[in-house]
Amino acid sequence: MAAGEPGPYAFAEGAETVDGARSNVEGHRLIPGETYKSSLPRGGRLYYRLDLKAKESAYVSATAVPRLGTRVSYADGLEVSVQDADGNNCSPMEAQEARFGASESPRPITATAARRTGPAEPSCAGAGTYYVLVERTSDPESSREAWALELRVASEPAVRMTGATEPPRTWDSATPAPPTGERKRRAGGTSYHTARALGNGVWGDSVTPGETRYYRVPVDWGQQLAVSAELGTSDGLRRGTADPATRGTGYVSPGLVMTLANPVRAEVEDADTAYDGEQKSAALEPLPPVAYENRFATADAVSAMRFAGWYYVSVHLNPEVAEKFGEAPLELMLRVDVDGDPLPGPSYAGSPRPAEEFGVTERDAEAARRGESAARGEGGSDDDPVLAAVAVGGIGTGVLLLGILGVWTLTARRRAAGASAAASAPTSDAPVRAASGPRHRR
């Protein structure tokens, strides 16, 4: 795409388009469980409105999407806050900002703010109207175009019985041995909505300079997630696709940026690596098992591991890589390990919005096996028999269609038989697993 064109970010289907207001009293009402489209002008300070129950925690994420090729600086970004009627910030101790950082690359970035309830949350108590403020910070030399904006609101009900208000004191902080074996091809999505589901194992994809790929991993209560990314060697120098003036002197820092976000899209941790044309890797720091009590931790990465559900991995390749090594995609490998058996979660006194937001269901586990996205269950494994049939070349249209219908019929029968067998067998809560090395405590 040319500079200034909209990015490929896939907004949620059916998302209502709303305008932010310059005054809080005019803010458009946002409903928990819904996703919205908006825009954020340069220097913008825009308000939206929430009507919340007394014992309802709310999480508001804002994803800014600059146009491709626009200029952003290190400190450019956005801030999000949830405020009460007196202008008090409802979650002042939590990270509520996102920056483009050292890559200075225009890509989707997300900030999340919260209004939390409970015995350890004295501020913003009570039912009523609250206000969401989204602010954009821009360097004077940055591009002036407005950024597209995706807003999402999730609500978490209170627990039936109040338990510990301290995070777990001990957990296995050793770096696990990453999964090994042949990688399976699974192309990432271009947004949270189209993120492809991954389970345990080694996964392959490719990423183009300037592109951000999204994936999602189901992590249940008591489970521990580890993710690493590996960028393959470049053949841009051999093929002559890089700029002759810089050929052979390539070094981009950071070349690759990987970010992990929790079910409400709040950042958990990130990792990056420079790139010089040779293979490089980046891994997230060890994270604690998912636990409700993690929310009481002071460390952001620990506090963010407070929900069971879908965790999102985004991988961005700096567009400067194209200047040094050409515009061809680079091979990407993700090693995903979800360790531990699921544990019982908190007993909520109500239902979250969206439904099943904070948990992992059998349907989620199946989505991880099949590589589906949230976009109407789209996706499927890249070695799906139907996709393989479509990929076969040199076959007449009629023969191809008959073959596809035959594969569909056979696949449907096998799935029906599998579902019947599963229905007669005891229910298993075992996570989706693949071969991985043991954990060793430091």
Q: How confident is the model at residue 12 (pLDDT cuts 50, 70, 90)?
A: very high
* Ranges of each domain in the chain: 16-157, 184-370, 385-417
**61-65, 203-207, 438-442: least confidently modelled range:** 438-442
Phi, psi of 323 (to 5 degrees): -70, -30
**Would you say 422 and 430 are in contact if contact means Cβ atoms under 8 Å apart?**
no
* pLDDT score at 419: 41
CATH topology of 16-157 equal to that of 184-370? yes
Mean pLDDT of the chain: 84
pLDDT (tens digit, 9 = 90+) per residue, 175-205? 889 999 999 999 999 999 999 999 999 999 9
Domain 16-157, CATH: 2.60.120.380
* pLDDT score at 162: 76
pLDDT (tens digit, 9 = 90+) per residue, 101-134? 999 999 999 999 999 987 767 779 889 999 999 9
Q: How confident is the model at residue 299 (pLDDT cuts 50, 70, 90)?
A: very high
Cα–Cα distance between 279 and 253 in angstroms, integer?
14
Half-sphere exposure of 365 (CA within 13 A, CB side): 14
* pLDDT score at 376: 61
* pLDDT score at 280: 97
**121-125, 253-257, 298-302, 370-374: least confidently modelled range:** 121-125
Looking at domain 184-370, its CATH class is: mainly beta
* pLDDT score at 433: 35
Give Cβ neighbours of residue 119 (< 8 Å, ≥ 6 apart).
162, 165
Would you say residue 405 has pLDDT above 60? no
Give me the residue label for tokens 């220097």. 43
Q: What's the average model confidence in pLDDT over 65-79?
A: 94
pLDDT (tens digit, 9 = 90+) per residue, 373-393? 998 666 655 544 443 333 333
The reported pTM is: 0.84
* pLDDT score at 379: 61
Strands 28-29 and 330-339: unpaired
